[in-house]
Structure 1
């Protein structure tokens, strides 16, 4: 993928603040690239895992919503989203032994979920998964009650994280509530778009 094809990819745009081409990831998305661009996502209780090979300059990000899915292979579930991301990286020549990780999100932004909140479960899942796979964790910003905007540069592993002000919380909370409501009514196959 070059800069021209990156600009044609769904979710692509030019980010004037970052001064680079970027691709916006939605829930259940993942991307892997070796191009000089940013992968950007907004997180509430969801988690984004950013994996990269610093020697090869290839990396990727996923955005998952729930920790596990049993036999379900939908990428909205962490177990499958992690496998998709790692397998795509390996197909591009990345060595598992060189993978490094940075993880973000898992905020408990939905009020009323005090017992075993989804953000806490997502954060715990990604940490356990990386430990089990022996992928070193280089940075994390997990938990709390704040939504986040994450910008990841796959070639270098550089990551920018902005905790969003409470004025933005309502937008993300409303979107997450609507999405989790649809999850209860929809079959789990196929892609899902939140926005």
Structure 2
């Protein structure tokens, strides 16, 4: 647990398939995770941070490549990073925390493990420093993140508090016209 977490005046919940970015000094991003993974990114120089919450690592090969589906970490990781870059963060300064990836239901597919492995490998490929993780196990977690300071509090909660994995609508980009490449 990180000290100084008691000064939030605005708590924003990050649900499955969402990401949020803020530099507000009194903003706290919160989520509850079971098998899902949340990535908390922080750029200490510009005091900007963000969190995502993804349900699955990557879409199957049969997935239409022209669609962005916010169930998947591969999209939410890129969306979070790009949004932070839009607000002045630099990729070489980003620091990451990873949470969740539990395998709550015995005898079920190990989705939590797949999510955790994907998140670690993604950060490694993108050369983003992983400074803390609390992944795996069988317990749900509640994560509270202060994006402007990079402070995080993670605690276990009853597995019944974790949201049921439920697909969100697929986001289809709006066609912006045709482009001829030479």
Shorter-chain TM-score category?
0.7 to 0.9
Equivalences, count: 161
TM-superposed CA distance for 1:74, in Å, is: 1.4
Where does the alignment leave 5 or more consecutive residues of structure 1 unmatched? 1-16, 191-195
Paired with 1:152 and 1:171, the residues of 2 have a C-alpha distance of: 18
Is it true that 1:154 corresponds to 2:143 in the alignment?
no
SS of structure 2 residue aligned to 1:63:
strand
The two structures have a TM-score, normalised by structure 2, of 0.83
Where does the alignment leave 5 or more consecutive residues of structure 2 unmatched? 172-182
Aligned with residue 48 of structure 1, among 28, 38, 44: 38
Paired with 2:106 and 2:7, the residues of 1 have a C-alpha distance of: 36
| 1:85-140 CA-partner distances (Å, limit 9, x unpaired) | 000000001111101100100000122215xx000000000000000000000100
More helix by share: 1
Paired with 2:114 and 2:78, the residues of 1 have a C-alpha distance of: 18
The corresponding residue for 1:57 is 47
- Checking the alignment, whether the CA contact within 8 Å between 2:70 and 2:170 is kept in structure 1 is no
Structure with greater Cα Rg: 2
Paired with 1:59 and 1:78, the residues of 2 have a C-alpha distance of: 17
Give the aligned CA root-mean-square deviation in angstroms: 1.9
The two structures have a TM-score, normalised by structure 1, of 0.77
TM-superposed CA distance for 1:171, in Å, is: 4.2
The corresponding residue for 1:8 is none
Aligned with residue 102 of structure 2, among 102, 107, 124: 107
Write the mapping of 1:77-116 to structure 2, written as runs, cut at 5 A.
Answer: 77-113=72-108
